[in-house]
Amino acid sequence: MSTLVTGIGELVTNDPARGDGPLGLVARAALVVEEGLVAWVGPAAAAPDADARIDVGGRAVVPGFVDSHAHLVFAGDRAGEFEARMSGARYDGGGITSTVAATRAASDDELRGRLGALVAEMRGQGTTTVEVKSGYGLTVGDEARCLRLAAEVTAETTFLGAHVVPAEYAGRSDDYVDLVTGPMLTACAPHARWVDVFCEPGSAHAFDGEQARAVLEAGRAAGLQVRVHANQLSAGPGVRLAVELGAASADHCTHLGAADVDALAGGTTVATLLPGVEFSTRSPYPDARRLLDAGVTLALATDCNPGSSFTSSMPFCVALAVREMRMTPAEALWAATAGGAAALRRSDVGHLAPGARADLAVVDAPSYRHLAYRPGVPLVRTLDVGV
Ligand code: NIG
Ligand code: FE
């Protein structure tokens, strides 16, 4: 069974072999899908025959968004914390403990229902790959439970037992790190692909560089790959640690010094920027241009979570990246698709060259530029090709 998708006014392939910059644009394009994979890409006038045909009426088609950073397994609500922030309160990660209490008290079905609703919300806005972290259980049983639920919706599951020090370990953070690197890791590793840590020495709730190193090295020894919450609230060792350990991604990167930028530029670690956080915590945005000028690979993700960024919308993050971080519309779209794939070390998503997964998003506009040009307008939907 093959399907021809035609009438594409502007196709973004992210295939540099197309010779039109990193986005690999094709005008008046078509694409053939077979067995869920892209089988052919080119001008509509030269398209081969297929068993079925979908005409998108001149709209733009882009690779489905790859949201490489999200916290979707939780219960509870922190709208009050958000409201307080908008009146001047600062975000320091302390509110996470209230989500932990609500998550521990929730049934599997409640957590599964909320997780499914958020994934559906994402899909409805063009996201076709999402990473999901644990981090609101913080007991051996609850972390393993959250990861089992996450694995029901994605292969990109991340063990974040070292999100914050839970209340019952207050003042004993090293003991908690022993739990995370011991029995909790043993219970969680079978359900996770990645290990992550909130490395933020300036926060009373999170972990310092040595604790973060212990968590990441233990995770790596258990077969997990590394990603890091780094330099979100203040300068610190997180980004350099991520690069040193060969992490796939250092996420946030809001407070960087020259040594951090140099480390990223000299390594293979993607810098994942999460502008929904700066928007929702009313904080200064990361310096995307400095990173781009240094040659660092950037990803954009939502960080969807009930505290620092309760948005599931990649188009919103693209618009923020353009308006607030001065990325071009092309840089922002690339970071939200191919950049996210790089941050997850995936070569089958984030682009639409032959052989890639046929994860297509249709923009109800003639050009991908409208993603930033028309902020807040629900222009994007995923295209179900039915094969
Ligand atoms: O990526 N920084 C740590 N974790 C999340 C926030 C989680 C929360 O506030 O509930 C983040 O911003
Ligand atoms: Fe996060």
7 token code pair: 């009438």
Same domain, 57 and 69: no
Which domain CATH number covers 257? 3.20.20.140
**Cα–Cα distance measured from residue 81 to residue 77, given in angstroms and rounded to the nearest whole number:** 9
Same domain, 213 and 337: yes
What range defines the domain where residue 359 resides? 2-64+351-383
**Pairing, β 25-34 against β 37-43:** antiparallel
Same domain, 141 and 12: no
Q: How far is CA 265 from CA 225, 292, 296, 321, in A?
A: 20, 9, 5, 20
Atom of ligand 1 lying closest to residue 93 CA:
9
- Is a pLDDT exceeding 70 seen at residue 80? yes
Query: pTM of the entire structure?
Result: 0.98
Q: Which residues, 6+ apart, have CB-to-CB distance to 218 below 8 Å? A: 180, 181, 185, 195
Query: pLDDT-derived band of residue 386, with 50, 70 and 90 as boundaries?
Result: low
198 lines ligand 1 (CB under 6 A): yes
pLDDT of residue 384: 85
Read off the pLDDT of residues 168-210 as tens digits, 9 standing for 90 and up.
Answer: 999 999 999 999 999 999 999 999 999 999 999 999 999 999 9
For ligand 1, atom 9, which residue shows the shortest CA distance?
A: 307
What domain count does the chain have? 2
Residues 14 and 334 sit within 8 Å (Cβ to Cβ): yes
Task: Tell me which residues have their CB within 5 A of the ion that is ligand 2.
Answer: 303
Same domain, 131 and 270: yes
Same domain, 198 and 153: yes
Which residue out of 100, 146, 308, 317 has the highest number of ligand 1 atoms within 8 Å of its CB and is therefore the one to mutate?
A: 308
Same domain, 209 and 225: yes
For ligand 1, atom 1, which residue shows the shortest CA distance?
A: 303
- Is a pLDDT exceeding 60 seen at residue 219? yes
Same domain, 71 and 60: no
pLDDT of residue 19: 80
C-alpha closest to that of 359 among 349, 344, 371: 349
Which domain CATH number covers 8? 2.30.40.10
Same domain, 102 and 250: yes
Provide the CB-side half-sphere exposure for 333 (13 A, CA). Answer: 29
Which residue out of 81, 90, 252, 303 has the highest number of ligand 1 atoms within 8 Å of its CB and is therefore the one to mutate?
A: 303
Atom of ligand 1 lying closest to residue 307 CA:
9
**3-state class of 257 per DSSP?**
coil
Query: pLDDT-derived band of residue 326, with 50, 70 and 90 as boundaries?
Result: very high
Same domain, 368 and 298: no
Atom of ligand 1 lying closest to residue 251 CA:
1
